[in-house]
Amino acid sequence: MGTSDSLLTQAEAVLRANDVGGHYTRPSGRLYPHQWNWDSAFIAIGWAHLDWDRAVREVDALLSGQWTSGLLPHIRYNPQIHDYAPGPEWWPAVPARSAGEVTSGISQPLVLPTAVYVAGLLQPDREVRLAWWARVCDQLRDAVRYFADYRTAPGSPLIVLVHPWESGLDNSPRWDFAVRQGHRPSRPYRRVDTTIVAAAERPQPPDYDLYMYLVELIASHGYDMRAYLPVTPFAVYDALFNAIWYRAAVDAGRIAEALGRPAVVSPEALAGFRRAYRETLWNEQQHLFLDYDLKSGRQIPVATTAGLMAVYGGLVDAEQAGTMLGRYVARSRNCHLLPSTPPDQEGFEPARYHRGPVWVPTNWLVARGLEDLGLRADARALAEATVDLVRVHGCYEYFDAHTGKGAGDGQFSWTAALVIDLLRRPIA
Ligand code: 9WN
């Protein structure tokens, strides 16, 4: 067997081991036993190469947690499992469309419409593909529009992120400004994560204090952002979240168009969004997009991979993408690519979760974005570096930026799924 064949076999085994009854795929065995939003989107792309019907079931399961507003929760809890914290008791009275669904009360980067588009194209039978898209199209539209309808602030079409967990890059140094304010929840809470993996690789106690404070704040305002926006310490325009939302709107639109249905977001609204993204988040000095804190009315001066996601979103042209990437790579000397935070950025920690380590999903997003822009050599180099890291170290959750050593959970679903995609659908 060639090395790619054995890596494929290994990655497939990870997905199968994390498959929960053929319904959803947990991100990893013990650390994350429920269904996570953007994990399942990436995972569906992996399944689409192995077992297309299984990819459909992954998406169905995620969509079954959707709320009446259209929100797709960040966690869809498996009610049989109780060893993850915080559990659903922290998210009371969630307005899910289907009775019996147990979910969290915030969302995550909306990769799902893009995953459904990509997985759909992997189905060779056009009738089967269109029938699937027709079945899920309205739910994807609602998931996209939820953010435009309920999660913007006056004066801008950009989406407001209300919790670090929504960013998917939870303890990014971008959020240190809020952690430093010292907010704490009113009730005690437990942590399970640090009993499973090394505490040195996880968020710190002050991070969790903020997370749980915000959970209480959001839940106590009935999950209505406009009600808590005046009092929350955390309201940001996240460069990653907004780029992914834009791409989701475009890809949900492609699905609608293939079905002859009306646009999901109008071309004028998309153009206005592109303008706002560039005007609000571009930082000429860093040659990168930065996040924006609505409370201080300023950009957050912290460079991370989130600033590159405009490449995936299709919010920059090839020339700008090439310069942004070149700068980021140049400042990431002695690191495997791409460190989630460059080493010259204050707050960089090579082995701590989202503060420096390399993550397969963010690399995948940038590589696919470069590919779409025609920067094939850059895309291929990044894809190969990513696959090599997994080949050498295994399907880890993330990788030490300096040594490449795997960290977190060692049988990680999105790592496996996206390596399968990079091997089976190499950069064009
Ligand atoms: C909280 C599942 C999730 C990912 C996130 C990652 C981590 C959860 C946690 O795991 O977050 O949502 O308990 O730390 O940060 O991106 O979706 O893999």
Q: What is the pLDDT of residues 304-348, one digit of tens each?
A: 999 999 999 999 999 999 999 999 999 999 999 999 999 999 999
State the average pLDDT for the chain: 97
Q: Which residues pair with 298 in a beta bridge?
A: 293
pLDDT at 260: 98
Proportion of the chain above pLDDT 90, given as a percent: 98
pLDDT at 218: 98
Active-site hit among 12, 58, 142, 170: 170
pLDDT at 3: 77
Query: Whose CA is closest to atom 8 on ligand 1?
Result: 165
pLDDT tens, residue by residue, 51-70: 999 999 999 999 999 999 99
Beta carbon of 273 within 6 Å of any ligand 1 atom:
no
CA of 1 to the centre of ligand 1 (A): 34
Pocket probe for ligand 1: among 26, 36, 415, the residue whose CB has the most ligand atoms within 8 Å is: 36
Query: Whose CA is closest to atom 4 on ligand 1?
Result: 168
pLDDT for residue 107 is more than 70 = yes
Pocket probe for ligand 1: among 18, 112, 170, the residue whose CB has the most ligand atoms within 8 Å is: 170
Active-site hit among 19, 293, 397, 400: 397
pLDDT at 4: 84
Beta carbon of 33 within 6 Å of any ligand 1 atom:
no
Evaluate if pTM is beyond 0.95: yes
Token pair of 62 as six digits: 């995620």
Confirm if 263 and 253 have CB atoms less than 8 A apart.
yes
Once rounded to an integer, what is the mean pLDDT over residues 262-276? Answer: 98
279 catalytic per annotation: no
Beta carbon of 359 within 6 Å of any ligand 1 atom:
no
CA of 168 to the centre of ligand 1 (A): 6
Pocket probe for ligand 1: among 18, 20, 165, 364, the residue whose CB has the most ligand atoms within 8 Å is: 165
- Which segments of 198-315 are extended strands (E)? 236-237, 282-283, 288-289, 291-293, 298-300
pLDDT tens, residue by residue, 153-208: 999 999 999 999 999 999 999 999 999 999 999 999 999 999 999 999 899 999 99
pLDDT for residue 383 is more than 80 = yes
Residues 6+ apart with CB under 8 A from 176: 302, 347
Beta carbon of 36 within 6 Å of any ligand 1 atom:
yes
CA of 279 to the centre of ligand 1 (A): 30
Cα–chain center distance at 118: 16
Cα three-residue angle 96-101-105, rounded to 5 degrees: 55
Query: Whose CA is closest to atom 14 on ligand 1?
Result: 170
Gap between the Cα atoms of 417 and 307, Å rounded:
24
378 catalytic per annotation: no
CA of 27 to the centre of ligand 1 (A): 9
Residues 6+ apart with CB under 8 A from 370: 311, 321, 325, 376, 378, 379, 382
Residues 6+ apart with CB under 8 A from 250: 270, 314
pLDDT tens, residue by residue, 285-309: 999 999 999 999 999 999 999 999 9
Query: Whose CA is closest to atom 18 on ligand 1?
Result: 27
How many other C-beta atoms are found inside a 10 Å radius of the C-beta of residue 178? 22
Once rounded to an integer, what is the mean pLDDT over residues 339-367? Answer: 98
Identify the band that residue 1 occupies on the pLDDT scale cut at 50, 70 and 90.
Answer: very low
Once rounded to an integer, what is the mean pLDDT over residues 265-290? Answer: 98
Token pair of 390 as six digits: 């997994």
What is the atom index within ligand 1 of the atom nearest the CA of 167? 16
pLDDT at 2: 55
pLDDT for residue 417 is more than 50 = yes
